[in-house]
Structure 1
Amino acid sequence: MDLNTITEVAHPKSRAHLPAWTAGDAWLAGGTWLFSEPQAHLRRLIDLTDLKWPALTIGDDNLTIAATCTVAQLDGFACPPDWIASPLINQCCRSFLASFKIWKTATVGGNICMSLPAGPMISLTSALDGIGTIWQADGGERKIPIIEFVTGNQQNVLKPGDLLRQIDVPLAALKRRSAFRQISLTPVGRSAALLIGTVDNDGDFALTVTASTTRPLKLFFATIPEQEELRETIMRRIPDNLYHTDIHGKPTWRKHMTLRLAEEIRAELRAQP
């Protein structure tokens, strides 16, 4: 869609060249949502692609995912063999309600900043203890766990002019055992529930609940719990008003599927050696 109110497109080459944020500005990375509907309030786009951030970088302790990394780049990344949780990357990438054209354009950061309950990059980075780096409009910088970044349906911690620079995923998280479950109300539809379970070397179990709830939640256990303990914890920790409702699923059904998929994950990880 043409954005016929845009009068300027800025192309900064570095953070120092980022223009001062004003009303009517928008960051442009993939632009798959930005160009999907009218944006009559916008006057200027600030193109982030000229910053040329490396899409994916393996460091001593983290995998750094640039906010401008595309879904296709992430999905095609060759992971080391000891990253036994790496199948989660491909599973989450394939949880998009999107064509191959969107895959090649949509960005990891854009999906997280859009902050939809069904955002699979939120699911992935939350489950793997991702830490987001935010470039603040005042020139500062802060870090925040992605599990805390999204605060509700299309709501997050960003203030006007703030920019998500990258997500750092601990290498230790990529070496955990994992299990993935996702369901949609219709074939290849938007995720109505997406749950990920992980177990570390000490036996600690974490369950990340997304898509069925308006914001991501993570439940921790010292060991893989029994069925009833897991169910009771979900019932206690996730109030009914936190389950999302839209045409892709009603809260009661999403709650039922959350409980069902959580038990499937628990049983799968319990059965693994």
Structure 2
Amino acid sequence: MDLNTITDVIRRPPERPGAEWRQGDAWLAGGTWLYSAEQPELRRLIDLTALGWTPLVPTYAGLEIGATCTVRDLYAFPWPIGWTAGHLFRSSCEAFLSSFKVWNAATVGGNICLSLPAGPMITLTVALQARYELWAPDGSVRFVDALDFVTGDHRNILAPGELLRRVSVPGQALRRRTAHRRFTLTRLGRSTVFLVGTQRQGGNDLQLTVTAGTTRPVRLGYDSLPDARTLRQDVDGLPAGLWFADPNGTPDHRRHLARHFAEEIRRELTAGDL
């Protein structure tokens, strides 16, 4: 879609691009959503891709993902054998409501900052206990847990002009066992619910992340695997207003799916399947 209110595009912003920010600006990365809808309040675009942020950096502490990392690059990354959660990255990429062609432009940071309930990069990073590095226009930096970033449908904690610089996934999370379930009305449709369970290698704990069916991510944590009744009660105990409603499902439908898939994940991790 043509954005006919745009008067300027900053193609080469400074290394700390917040200094360029003013009212009516938008950060431009992949632009796959930005160009898909009218943006009448915007006057300038600031191109973050020109900064050349490294997409993926494995470190001793884990994995750093640049906000402008494309879905294609994330999907193609050669995961070390010891990172047992690696397959979850590919499954999350495949959960995009888009064709593989869009992967060449769509970015990890863009999907997170759009903050839609069905954002698969939100599901992935919350499930793996990631932290986000945020840059403010005044040059300050803050860090926030992925779980605390999204506050509702299309809402997050970003202040005006603040941007997501990188996502840090801890090594201990990358070495966890995982199980996930996702429901869509069509094969390539938007997620109605997307649940991920993780567990320490050789452990008996459970971290269950519920997304897509809720307006913000939810994590249920257990030091040891709960029984089926406890898990069901905890899913049912989530606030009624937290469940999302759209053409892909009612709150009751999504709650039902979450209960069903949560139990499947519990059984899978109990059985010791990777």
Give the TM-score of the pair, scaled to structure 2.
0.96
Q: CA deviation at 1:13?
A: 4.8
Tell me the secondary structure at the aligned position of residue 100 of structure 1: coil
For the 8 Å contact 1:79–1:86, the answer to whether it is kept is: yes
* Distance in 2 of aligned mates of 1:230 and 1:14: 49
Aligned to 1:6: 6
Q: Which amino acid aligns with 1:128?
A: L
List aligned pairs for 1:24-43, cutoff 5 A: 24-43=24-43
Aligned to 2:228: 227
Q: CA deviation at 1:141?
A: 0.5
Aligned to 2:209: 208
Aligned to 1:256: 256
% identity of equivalent residues: 49
After superposition, give the CA deviation of every residue in 1:111-149 in whole Å (9 maximum; x if it has no partner): 000000000000000000010000012211000011110
List aligned pairs for 1:100-115, cutoff 5 A: 100-115=100-115
* Distance in 2 of aligned mates of 1:118 and 1:7: 32
* Distance in 2 of aligned mates of 1:72 and 1:259: 32
Aligned to 2:144: 144
After superposition, give the CA deviation of every residue in 1:57-101 in whole Å (9 maximum; x if it has no partner): 011102000110000100000000011111100111001110122
Q: CA deviation at 1:21?
A: 1.8
For the 8 Å contact 2:18–2:139, the answer to whether it is kept is: no
Aligned to 1:242: 242
* Distance in 2 of aligned mates of 1:76 and 1:215: 28
For the 8 Å contact 2:56–2:65, the answer to whether it is kept is: yes
* Distance in 2 of aligned mates of 1:16 and 1:232: 47
For the 8 Å contact 1:62–1:170, the answer to whether it is kept is: yes
Q: CA deviation at 1:17?
A: 5.1
Aligned to 1:45: 45
* Distance in 2 of aligned mates of 1:112 and 1:60: 25
* Distance in 2 of aligned mates of 1:189 and 1:4: 30
* Distance in 2 of aligned mates of 1:16 and 1:109: 17
Higher deviation after alignment, 9-18 or 243-252: 9-18
Q: Which amino acid aligns with 1:239?
A: P
For the 8 Å contact 1:12–1:18, the answer to whether it is kept is: no
Q: CA deviation at 1:196?
A: 0.2
* Distance in 1 of aligned mates of 2:226 and 2:58: 33
Q: CA deviation at 1:16?
A: 3.7
* Distance in 1 of aligned mates of 2:224 and 2:14: 46
* Distance in 2 of aligned mates of 1:71 and 1:198: 22
Aligned to 1:72: 72
Higher deviation after alignment, 27-36 or 137-146: 137-146
Aligned to 2:218: 217
C-alpha root-mean-square deviation of aligned residues, in Å? 1.2
Give the TM-score of the pair, scaled to structure 1.
0.97
* Distance in 2 of aligned mates of 1:148 and 1:225: 24
* Distance in 2 of aligned mates of 1:54 and 1:75: 15
Give aligned pairs, total: 272
What are structure 1's unaligned runs of at least 5 residues?
Answer: none
Aligned to 1:61: 61
